[in-house]
Structure 1
Amino acid sequence: MAPGNQRDLQAVLWDMDGTLVDTEPYWLAAQSEIAREHGLNWTMQDARATVGQAMPVTASILQDRGVSLSTEEIINDLLERVVAKLEGGIPWLPGAERILAELAAAHIPSALVTMAFSPVATRVASAAPIGTFHAVVAGDAVAQGKPHPAPYLVAAELLGVEPALCVAVEDSVSGTTSARAAGMEVVVVPGVVQPQSGPGRHFVSSLEDVSMESLRTILRDTAVTDHPPFDQRTELTAR
């Protein structure tokens, strides 16, 4: 790419569960506990179907399996159980606090873009290095959750940046689909359900492999291309 066409990194948008913090097991355990309390068996296949999804979707899956609670009751129950776990501390994944601090020191804003509701999202965001998160988009703040592009587009708007000049960091199929549909390059870390390779997806073994310069390089070395049109069926058949 010619120097005049280089794109400078304006912001980094972060998924939360399984990407920055090792809280995915908390959600899966909470789901399993609720199912067990209703005399149901919650399988790994059931759990995998919820990864990266909006909380009402998770509630619907639990209801489909036989949990006789309302959507609001299930969501509140899940939130209470996960928040209780977080009282013992935030389980940051290796490399997370270091890269967040690097970006904050360089005055590159970050946003947290998660399908977890605000009680969990704000708790994690407030525990991050000072000056890290300039916006938090939680699952209860958007009408359409991942895999729809809305969460990432809302985050970019809150930060006042161009989506194409952001890099998203994700671990799930629905999250990666969401960020790509919003026109962003995506760094993909290992997750419970691994997204497929494709344009605009940059796979790493962990956040320890991610640096401020590597994020900048993704934009500098990537030609501007049309992002794929949003199609909720994209890759979700694997779920």
Structure 2
Amino acid sequence: MDGTLVDTEPYWMAAETALVESYGGRWTHEDALQLVGNGLIDSAIILQNAGVDLPAEAIISCLTDAVQEALRTQGVPFRPGAQELLQDLRAAGIRTGLVTMSLRRMALGVVELIDFKAFDIVVAGDDVDNPKPHPEPYLRAASLLGVDITETVIIEDSPTGLRAGIASGAVALGVPHIVSLDGVGAHELWPTLAERGASDIAELFTRLSTSLTGVTR
């Protein structure tokens, strides 16, 4: 979600900075990049190490509240082509799921701001025991969708998310945004989702699933 569907990473970074500074610490852009795509608990531990004297769950709740407030007051900056691609996938009858490490309440809040039914299912950070880069979030999503994970394409903007998708057995498409995805192992990189449709995803899957397995899935 964050960085692939919506450009909320600046909201998260601002919330992290304010929180760390409220405890007398210093939070740089480079520090914030460590958290891109991370699981919530992992991010909370990094913030505790930066001086935030709160339990992990309180940190997660505080950051989520701040980002939700930013979305309400500053708007939802959708990534180029993301909504259009989702619309085309839905029109083609392709099932879609949102897999994010944000809290479920935040994920559903973003989904509600899309003016069509964009996703069949949502898997959030508080729905799984093991966050990305563990494959559990994507495996859970495939199970909820009723499909084999090898019959799916995952789209990710972070190294952590890409590693989760690759480990799950899906075809992994990287669309870099805040951080580079070079050398992470994406099966393909696209610079943007703009001007991309369901036919592009289908072609990608057919071509890459054949090269990955030696047979067409």
TM-score (norm 1): 0.84
Any gaps of 5 or more consecutive residues in structure 1? Answer: 1-15, 227-239
Cα contact 2:174–2:186 (8 A) shared by 1: no
The percentage of counterpart residues that share the same residue type is 38
Structure 1 position 201, deviation (Å): 2.0
Report the residue type matching 1:34 in the other structure. Answer: L
Structure 1 position 181, deviation (Å): 0.4
The range that moved more, 86-95 or 154-163, is 86-95
Tell me, what secondary structure is at the counterpart of 2:172? strand
Q: 2:52 aligns with which of 55, 64, 67?
A: 67
Structure 1 position 50, deviation (Å): 0.5
Alpha-carbon distance in 2 for matches of 1:200, 1:29: 29
Q: How does 1:97-176 map to 2 (within 5 A)?
A: 97-176=83-162
Cα contact 2:68–2:106 (8 A) shared by 1: yes
Cα contact 1:35–1:42 (8 A) shared by 2: yes
Alpha-carbon distance in 1 for matches of 2:175, 2:186: 14
2:20 paired with 1:35: yes
Structure 1 position 87, deviation (Å): 1.1
The range that moved more, 143-152 or 38-47, is 38-47
Report the residue type matching 1:106 in the other structure. Answer: A
Any gaps of 5 or more consecutive residues in structure 2? Answer: none
- Alignment-derived partner of residue 208 in structure 1: 194
- Alignment-derived partner of residue 233 in structure 1: none
The range that moved more, 132-141 or 198-207, is 198-207
- Alignment-derived partner of residue 164 in structure 2: 178
Superimposed CA distance per residue, residues 65-107 of structure 1 (whole angstroms, 9 cap, x where no aligned partner): 1111111111110011011011133211111111111111111
TM-score (norm 2): 0.92
Alpha-carbon distance in 1 for matches of 2:130, 2:144: 16
- Alignment-derived partner of residue 217 in structure 1: 203
Structure 1 position 211, deviation (Å): 1.7
The range that moved more, 126-135 or 40-49, is 126-135
Alpha-carbon distance in 1 for matches of 2:166, 2:52: 34
More relative contact order, 1 or 2 (CA 8 Å, 6+ apart): 1
Structure 1 position 186, deviation (Å): 1.6
Tell me, what secondary structure is at the counterpart of 2:108? helix
- Residues 40 and 198 of structure 1: is their aligned pair in 2 closer, same or farther, counting only changes over 3 Å? closer
Structure 1 position 224, deviation (Å): 5.8
Report the residue type matching 1:220 in the other structure. Answer: T
Cα contact 1:109–1:132 (8 A) shared by 2: no
Cα contact 1:125–1:136 (8 A) shared by 2: no
Superimposed CA distance per residue, residues 93-124 of structure 1 (whole angstroms, 9 cap, x where no aligned partner): 11111111111111111100000011210111
